[in-house]
Every structure is written in C-alpha cells, then in structure tokens.
Amino acid sequence: MIRIQLAPAEKDKCINFLIHILIQERVQQRIKVLHLVNQGVILKEFSRLCNLSQNTITDYIKFFGQRGTETSETLSCHQPVSVLQEHQVRIQDYFQENPPLSIKEARGKIEELTGLKRSETQIRKFLTDVGISFRKVGVVPAKVDVDVEKQETFKKKNWNLDYKKPNKEQERFILSTQLIL
C-alpha cells in the first residue's frame, strides 16, 4: 500500500476542499483520495468509498507524489490551439478592410494569406472566435417621387367619393337577389 504523510496545513486544506462545493468534481475526487490515504484507508476500500477504480486511485496518489498538493488542487486539461491563431492579426486586418461576403470567400482569402487550407466549419468557428461576423446584404429602396398633385388626381379619378354603404334593407335585397340567381 502506498503511504502519504500530509502536513497539518495540508490536512486542513484537504478538508476545506472537501467541504467546498464550487470546485470541479475531478479535483474534489483527488482531494478525497488524498484525505483517505492520509487516514490510512486500505486501497480496496477506496474503490467502494470513492466509486473509483484502483488504477485511478493509484494514478491520483502517484500524481500527488510527483507534483504535490498545489497541482492536485487544479485541473489541467489539454486545450488545442488552432494554427490560424498565429495569423490572427493579419487575417483581422485584411477582413476589416475587405469584409468577406461568404464563408467560402473567407476560406479562399485565408488560404491565400496563410497557405493553410481549412474546412468551412473551422473557418466559421475561427472567424466567430476572432470577432468577425457576417452581415446580411440589404437593398436600399429607390427614391420615391412624391408628387402630391398626381396623388390627388389619381384619387379623384379612381375613387368613387359618392359611394355610400348600403343600409340593412338594401343588403338583404342584394343578398336575396344573389341567392335567387
């Protein structure tokens, strides 16, 4: 069995981490394993108490032995970085002067500028991460010839201003004649 001796300050830190809810679950598992190892719990009981495999528990203990409690409290995951990030400034400057109309056009221009060929999805994600967005092209309406006199003559010719709405008797008569025909 692997034994670890924690200093009193480290014990307090472990207990504080176990009580603290806002840390990541994986970090909390590591700290829980370290705390149980320090208490002298057997490795077979770890699996049951922590709901982890024995290999994971030994990995956590080895990780602590190599790096200490400070790195056990943080979670470092691999976060890939795009090769396009190296050319970010040049691409942004170019697209500020010549905004692309489509992803395909942006893809072609980026390939010309950097020599890197990427898919449309990767280009779209890169451009949104950089802060370049596409704007819809709109049509500017034509100028309207506002001629009030023409409008008034049109209204006089085409609108029947003497038209009156039929009263109820006239409506009944109209409806009855329509039904007969």
Instruction: Give me the pLDDT at residue 162, please.
Output: 60
Does residue 23 contact residue 75 with C-beta atoms inside 8 Å?
Answer: no
SS3 16: helix
What is the residue-averaged pLDDT of the chain?
76
pLDDT tens for each residue of 82-136: 888 899 999 999 998 988 888 999 999 999 999 999 999 999 999 988 888 776 6
Distances in Å between the Cα of 123 and the Cα atoms of 78, 88, 100, 101, 130 are: 21, 12, 12, 13, 10
| Stretch among 73-82, 155-164, 171-180 having the lowest mean pLDDT | 155-164
Does residue 83 contact residue 116 with C-beta atoms inside 8 Å?
Answer: yes
Rounded to an integer, the average pLDDT of 133-142 is 74
Domain boundaries, the chain: 8-72, 83-130
Instruction: Give me the pLDDT at residue 105, please.
Output: 92
* Top-confidence residue, 68 or 60: 60
58-62, 68-72, 110-114, 138-142: which is most confident: 110-114
